[in-house]
Structure 1
Amino acid sequence: MDLRDLQYFEVIAELEHMGRASERLHRTQPALTSCVRRLEEACGAALFEKTGRGIKLTAAGHALLRWAQRTRLDVESARREIGDIGRGLSGHVKLGIVPTAAQFLLPPVARDLIAEAPEVTLKTHVGLVDVLTPLLRSGDIDLMVGTEGARESGFASQYLAEDLIVVAASAGHPVFDRPRPALKDLARWRWVLQPPGAPTRDWLDQTFDRHNLPRPVVQVESTMLLMLPALIGETGLLSFISRLHLQAGRSGAALREVGIPATTMRRRLVATWRDTGYVSPAAQRLMALLARHASHETPA
């Protein structure tokens, strides 16, 4: 099979339309039809079937697509590894990172990486793990820094640090009028939280469920994690955020932890990469710096 045919096949499979694939690839439709025909002859099976005005993959087409994607990633890894030989610590790293790690870890890590290896370039994509994981699998990012979840085939991970998620409020919130607030006391107040489905929100809701208490009453819902500290400070609402935000001078707002053991969520921060992919020297150094700074940033 020709590598270029496989590259064209990936685009046709993604768009499910010969005309749109022709426009993206700047190739004629007859040329792409010939590409598909060559692959079908090599595989001995039909790869597409017509549907409405477009086309869709057959079962054989889906199988070939998986191998075509793997082949593309292997070729790219080989090219990068060979190019890195003799060049020292240089190259380009594509990093996916969750918002909290991006805010607290990325700036000092980038500073140290640039100081050590001025020729390394870094492209970051900030998002939640469910958004970053498909990017890692497809090769759009080389490395993902996020919270540990269920093990997935095709990935390897390295532990970085533990991140604690706690209930927080502005320093003058009435919840602190009691020397030792209890979980049931939190039901009196309103909250600013992420929407249902976010791991921290679901964990908090389930904590109240387990104690037979009503779930938090959410007055402000936000998908923007980086906005939560400012919203807590301005609105006087309770929230559920990383303890990192409570360190002096970090959030721009005077926030305090509502210290209730039942509402302390522990999660592991890990660096993840494709287990069959090439991890460049620059990416390896980036991981080492992430581990070093993560251990300093996350107090027990």
Structure 2
Amino acid sequence: MDLRDLRYFETIAELQHVGKAAERLHRTQPALTGAVRRLEQQAGAPLFERSGRGIRLTDAGRVLLRWAQRLRFDVEDARREIAEIGRGVAGHARIGIVPTAAQYLLPQAVRQLLQEAPEVTLSTTVALVDVLLPMLGRGELDLVVGTEGRAQPGLQSHRLSEDSIVVAAHARHEIFQGKPTLKDLTRYRWVLQAPGAPTRDWLDHTFDRKRLPRPVVQVESSMLVTLPAMIAETGLLSFISRHHLAAGSPQRLREVVLKETTMRRRLVVTHRSHAYVPPAARRLMELLAAAAASPVAEGGA
């Protein structure tokens, strides 16, 4: 099977539309249709079927897509590995990383990496794991540093550190006038991530289990690094990493200490199983683990 035909097939399968695939690939629709026909002849089965105004993969198409992706990964990995033979810790690494790790682990690790290997280049994507892991699966990233979740086929993870997510408030908030309870937290308004974010869902379910109203969210924000300042300026409660809480200054911010609202999570680094991991990315994995174990990182965990 022709690699170009397989690449066209992957794009058509992703977009479920020949016309949209032609626009992305800057090819004509007949060229893409011809590629699909050649693949169907070689596979001996139809790869797509009509679905409304678009198309969708058949069972045979889904099988071919899995192998086409694997073949593309292998070819790309081979090219990168051959290009980097003899270069040592050099080349380019593509890293996906969650905001907390990007702020507290990545700078130290990158500083050390560039001291050791000044020619290394990096590209970083900061997002949540639900965005990063599909990018890793598509071969767009070499590593993902994020929170541990369920094991996924084709991915391999290594533990970096533990982190705690806690309720935080302005140090002079009235919640600290007594010994707060979970029910007391329902009296105040919050700044939180949108529903669907793992920490937000965990917190909502904590209140659900106690048959209490969920937090009343006055401000939704996807910018985690702004939460300490937002808490300090607005008086709203929030749910943030102890790393961020420490960065917000103990004179301004304080943890609302409650066992029920202390979420413990693990940070892991994940790569595709059996995939080529560039030397720069391998060394960065080691440096991230060292940064996670350092006194500075542990002091905020």
TM-score for both structures, normalised by structure 2 = 0.91
Q: Which runs of 4+ in 1 moved over 6 A?
A: none
Choose which of 286, 289, 297 in structure 2 pairs with 1:288. 286
Alpha-carbon distance between aligned partners in 2 of 1:174 and 1:245, rounded to the nearest angstrom = 21
Q: Deviations over 1:144-193 (max 9, x none)?
A: 01100111111100000000111111111122223x43333323322222
Q: Secondary structure at the match of 1:188?
A: coil
Q: Is the 8 A contact 2:193 2:221 kept in 1?
A: yes
Q: How does 1:40-59 map to 2 (within 5 A)?
A: 40-50=40-50, 54-59=54-59
1:74 is aligned to 2:102: no
Structure 1 residue 240 displacement after superposition: 0.9
- 1:10 deviates by 1.6
In structure 1, distance between residues paired with 2:189 and 2:13: 48
CA contact (8 A) 1:10 1:69 kept: yes
- Aligned to 1:33, what secondary structure does the other structure show? helix
- TM value normalised by structure 1: 0.91
Q: 1:220 to 1:45 in 2, by over 3 A?
A: same
Q: Cα 1:256–1:79, aligned 2, differ >3 Å: closer, same or farther?
A: same
SS in structure 2 of the partner of residue 298 of structure 1: helix
Structure 1 residues 19 and 213, CA gap change in structure 2 (3 angstroms) = closer
Residue in structure 2 matched with residue 150 of structure 1 by the alignment: 150
Structure 2 residue aligned with 1:251 = 248
When structure 1 is superposed on structure 2, of 38-47 and 204-213 the one drifting more is: 204-213
**Counterpart position of 1:117:** 117
The secondary structure found in structure 2 opposite 1:181 is coil
Q: Go from structure 1 to structure 2 and tell me whether the alpha carbon gap of 1:206 and 1:33 turns closer, same or farther (over 3 Å shift).
A: closer
Q: What is the alpha-carbon distance in structure 1 between the residues aligned to residue 277 and residue 74 of structure 2?
A: 12
Q: 2:275 aligns with which of 266, 274, 277?
A: 277
**Corresponding letter in the other structure for 1:144:** V
In the TM superposition, what whole-angstrom CA distance separates every residue of 1:89-127 from its partner, at most 9, and x where no partner exists?
A: 111111111111112222222211111111111111111
Alpha-carbon contact 1:163-1:298 (below 8 Å) kept: no
1:263 aligns with 2:261: yes
Residue 29 and residue 200 in structure 1: after superposition, are their counterparts in 2 closer, same or farther (change >3 A)?
Answer: closer
Farther-moved stretch of structure 1 (264-273 vs 217-226): 217-226
Could you tell which deviates more after superposition, 201-210 or 25-34? Answer: 25-34
Matches within 5 A, 1:1-300: 1-50=1-50, 54-178=54-178, 180-247=179-246, 250-251=247-248, 254-296=252-294, 297-299=297-299
Amino acid of the residue matched to residue 11 of structure 1?
A: T
Inter-CA distance 50–206: structure 2 relative to 1 (3 Å threshold): closer
Q: For residue 223 of structure 1, report the CA deviation from its aligned partner.
A: 2.6
Rate the CA distance shift 1:267–1:53 in 2: closer, same or farther, 3 A: closer
Q: Helix, strand or coil: the match of 1:87?
A: coil
Count of matched residue positions in the alignment of Structure 1 and Structure 2: 297
Task: Supply the distance in 2 between the matched residues of 1:149 and 1:21 (Cα, whole angstroms).
Answer: 33
Distance apart, 1:194 and its partner CA? 1.9
Contact 2:225 2:244 (C-alpha < 8 Å) held by counterparts: no
| Counterparts of 2:94 and 2:64, CA distance in 1 | 26
The answer to whether the 8 A contact 2:96-2:126 is kept is yes
Distance 1:34 1:109 in 2: 48
Q: Which amino acid aligns with 2:274?
A: T
Cα drift, residue 69 of structure 1:
0.9
For 2:33 and 2:167, the matched residues in 1 are separated by: 59
